[in-house]
Amino acid sequence: MKPNYLLADNSGQRDRWTVSYMDVLTILLIFFVAAAAKTIPVPAPVKPAEPVRQPVKIEPTPPRPPDPPSALSNAQKLLEASGLDAHLEQRGLVISLPQAVLYASGEDRVTPDALPTVGRVAQVLRELPNRVLLIGHADSVPIHNQRFKNNWELSAARGLRLLEVLRSRYHIDETRLSVSSDGANRPTKSNETAEGRANNRRVEIVVVDETVDLNEKPPTEANR
């Protein structure tokens, strides 16, 4: 029978071996767990879903209503309905009255036959507050008689006589009226033909557009 101290020594050595074996197993377990963890795929981060965009409904722009006709535009329609030559320009409403309608050849007196035409114009002028220019025009054929030295004087006299008729007979306020003469300087047609010269002999009644600077050169037929 072995002594007790021998038994005690053998028991302690066995326990030390057991502890070492457990440490090895723990290390191996940790190793395999770590290795296995590396083989597990890491899921990709999930992107948040983008919000569904509703299509934007664009309402069509309603068409702009046309501007109401101006007083000058209404006056133009009335005069045209009466058979008169009336048109709108930058300077205003231009009513063109031929010399043959208003005056005898070489004269400045408004004939009685012209009064109905002048009366239709005066009726329209009374409905408007605008200033009115009376501009005399002539053809290029020189004139020289006992009263007028040239076409410029004749054109000015015709405008002045028409002013007197509008003032005295049709009671258009004379403070609204002005007279000027262009003579043969602003033809609307060629002076080479009798028809063209007849068109150039005229008086223009210009109902002034008050927003226009009258110091600007008025347009002629060529650049309308």
* pLDDT tens, residue by residue, 165-218: 999 999 999 999 999 999 999 999 999 999 999 999 999 999 999 876 655 554
Positive or negative torsion for Cα 76, 221, 100, 214? positive
- pTM beyond 0.75: the answer is no
**Considering the domain 71-211, what is its CATH architecture?**
2-Layer Sandwich (3.30)
Arithmetic mean of pLDDT over the chain: 82
Phi (first) and psi of residue 221, to 5 degrees: -60, -30
Site of tokens 């045209």: 80
- CB burial string 157-181: b at 16+ within 10 A, e below: bbbebbbebbbeeeebeeebbbbeb
Chain segment 155-170, per-residue pLDDT in tens: 999 999 999 999 999 9
Element (H, E) at 159: helix 151-168
How big is the CA angle at 71 (ends 128 and 210), to the nearest 5 degrees?
70
In what order do the strands lie in the sheet containing 85-89? 85-89, 92-98, 202-208, 132-137, 177-183
Contact 135, 182 (CB under 8 A): yes
Report the alpha-carbon distance of residue 132 to residue 167 in Å, rounded: 12
Paired strand residues for 97:
203
Cβ neighbours, 10 Å, residue 65? 6
Q: Where are the domains of the chain?
A: 1-36, 71-211
